[in-house]
Amino acid sequence: MNRILNCLSLAVLASTLFAGCSSDSPSEAPVPPPAGAGDVCGYVRCNGQGLSGVVVSDGVNVVKTDAAGYYSFTCDLSSADFVRISVPSGYETSRDGMLPAFYAAIDPAAQGVQRFDFDLTAADNSRHLLLVMADVHISGRKPGYPDDGGTVVAELDARQCRDRFIPRIASCAASAPEGYRVYGLNLGDMTHSEYWYSKNYSFPQYIETMKGIGFPVFHAIGNHDYCHKVADDTADAQYKAALGPTYYSFNLGSIHYIVLDDMVYKGANSYAARIDDRQMEWLRRDLAAMDPAVRDVVVGMHVPTVSGLQTDGSYKKALENFDEFYALFAGYNLTVLSGHWHHAHSVRIGDTASEYILPAVCGTWWYELLCNDGTPAAFTAFTVDGTSVSRRIVPFGETYASERYRVYNKGVTTNTGTVGPGTSADPAGGSPAILVNLWEMRPDWTFTCYENGVQTSGRLTRVARYDPVHRDFCNQELIGWERYSWCATVRTADHWLQYVPEDPAASVRITVANQKGSLLHVIDTKIE
């Protein structure tokens, strides 16, 4: 990992401690940096040669390396945590296991100058595969109902992660197209702070469980990655000690990636969804320091910026400083990646901005590898070639591994779900219908429908529905939703289709095309 050299005098620097990857000639001591240039300094190099224009920050200051690869600035030690570099396009750092070594911890009690050197390796990442995950939630817990020792018990969460999730995502990485570099991004809630104490299961155990992943993974902090016992700005101390800074940036190919913490934590798992003023000011400086030719930005953070999604694509603003945040990206093509909800959504924010809310790796908290909107437990693969990006949700549980959508055609009606005992949320009755849970659905996809080969119109609508499979798991007491309310089936509005045939006996075909007109799915079904 990164190490620190505290220097009483720049003139007596005798050795260099490296953060990043090794030089071809590590035994050669670098030229000491010039005196009087700040209390934090260092070099960024590749193969012993300084790299100019690399962005370096302590979370407040944002500077660039000079022609020799040297940087320096004066740091407020009372509030600074890490020096971090925005790894430039075409380079990689070394890593400690899965953790990329792009940062080094600042010592707030140090006297004199602190020096941090970063050595990089050249790597063509203009084409890359980014594997994004959210809400792993491993905590040494054995899910059970009606309590965690219950009568219906799932496998230990860490074992399920190790034996099911890790092999699948590692296999996906290994199958990357030739010439593609592979990276990971975890959008938070790796752990669950209540279990740091009751199960002695925290970030070191998470890192150990994930050690077989085989590629570098960047991390964002989630609400459960804060210590619930702490109500001040030290609640992220355990996270930082294990995984580094909670906000930073890096570059892969033609895309600038930014990771943020969009929570102001208040203790006891209470927080405001907001990007605090310190980060917002850093974000302005980070964007100003970007290569002006780069216009594509991806921001990863845990809590979605929106809520209240509707079938017409509308939404409510959930981030307190929503307008201020999105205004910073005027003129950029912005993609926001988030998790937290444990279900999947695609949202258009504007002409040049979208938010993808990812399904949970843990599904329904490892009771079932199915999220509470019916989306399989999954990660998302982003295949990037220049600025061309394609994505797909990749399930990993054996039961759902081959699914891209799910069709319900037995006993379905135009009310809220399947025929059965009526409740206020799910009454019986209505006309026979077909439901499709198309969890990858995007607002700009188009659909064409046929009955017995004849094209129809006006019979396919977007609806809000509960997923029948997940609801049945709850009803069968296979999911502890009565004790843990967040495990209950949720009614979602943006990835459900309902088709009401003119002839209930007709064979129905629904074709799905993307915004370019390319055919994605052909769904053949009929009411049974």
Report pLDDT digits (tens) over 289-311: 999 999 999 999 999 999 999 99
pLDDT in tens, 363-382: 999 999 999 999 999 999 99
In this prediction, residue 279 carries a pLDDT of 98
In this prediction, residue 417 carries a pLDDT of 58
Name which residue leads in pLDDT, 425 or 22.
425
Number of H helices, E strands in the chain: 8, 39
* Least-confidence region, from 5-14, 63-72, 77-86, 426-435: 5-14
Residue 61 confidence (pLDDT) above 80 = yes
492: CB partners within 8 A, 6+ apart: 309, 343, 345, 373, 464, 465
Residue 421 confidence (pLDDT) above 50 = no
Contact 343, 375 (CB under 8 A): yes
Residue 11 confidence (pLDDT) above 70 = no
Percentage with pLDDT > 70 across the chain: 90
Q: What span, in angstroms and rounded, lies between the C-alpha atoms of 484 and 104?
A: 39
For residue 57, CA distances in Å to 75, 147, 285 come to: 10, 46, 10
Residue 415 confidence (pLDDT) above 80 = no
The pTM (predicted TM-score) of the whole model is 0.92
| CA dihedral over 492, 497, 499, 505, signed as positive or negative | negative
Domain definitions of the chain by residue range: 5-121, 127-395, 406-525
Pairing of strands 353-357, 117-122: unpaired
* Least-confidence region, from 319-328, 401-410, 414-423, 517-526: 414-423
Average pLDDT (422-440) is: 79
pLDDT in tens, 223-266: 999 999 999 889 999 999 999 999 999 999 999 999 999 999 99
In this prediction, residue 6 carries a pLDDT of 35
pLDDT band at 3 (very low <50, low <70, confident <90, very high): very low
Residue 83: both structure tokens together: 């020096």
Average pLDDT (297-326) is: 96
Domain 5-121 and domain 406-525, same fold? Reply is: yes
Domain 127-395 class, CATH top level: alpha beta
**Could you tell me which CATH number the domain at 406-525 has?**
2.60.40
Q: What span, in angstroms and rounded, lies between the C-alpha atoms of 255 and 385?
A: 10
pLDDT in tens, 173-197: 999 999 999 999 999 999 999 999 9
In this prediction, residue 413 carries a pLDDT of 86
Q: Which residue in 62, 72, 69 sits closest to 20, CA to CA?
A: 69
In this prediction, residue 9 carries a pLDDT of 32
For residue 128, CA distances in Å to 89, 123, 197 come to: 11, 11, 38
Q: Check residue 408 and give left, alpha or beta (phi > 0: left; psi -120 to 50: alpha).
A: beta
Contact 370, 387 (CB under 8 A): no
In this prediction, residue 351 carries a pLDDT of 93
Half-sphere exposure of 91 (CA within 13 A, CB side): 24
Percentage with pLDDT > 90 across the chain: 79
- Mean of all residue pLDDT scores within the chain: 90
Q: Residues of 318-356 as b/e, b for ≥16 C-beta within 10 angstroms?
A: bbbbbeebbebbeebbbbbbbbbbbbbbbbebeebbbbb
Q: Which residue in 272, 189, 197, 191 sits closest to 229, CA to CA?
A: 197
Average pLDDT (12-27) is: 37
What CATH number does domain 5-121 carry, 3.40.50.11540, 3.40.50.12780, 3.40.640.10, 2.60.40.1120?
2.60.40.1120
Q: What span, in angstroms and rounded, lies between the C-alpha atoms of 314 and 323?
A: 16
* Least-confidence region, from 8-12, 106-110, 144-148: 8-12
pLDDT in tens, 339-351: 999 999 999 999 9
Contact 480, 145 (CB under 8 A): yes
3-state DSSP of 11-59: HHCCCCCEEECCCCCCCCCCCCCCCCCCCEEEEEEECCEECCCCEEECC
In this prediction, residue 1 carries a pLDDT of 34
Average pLDDT (159-166) is: 96
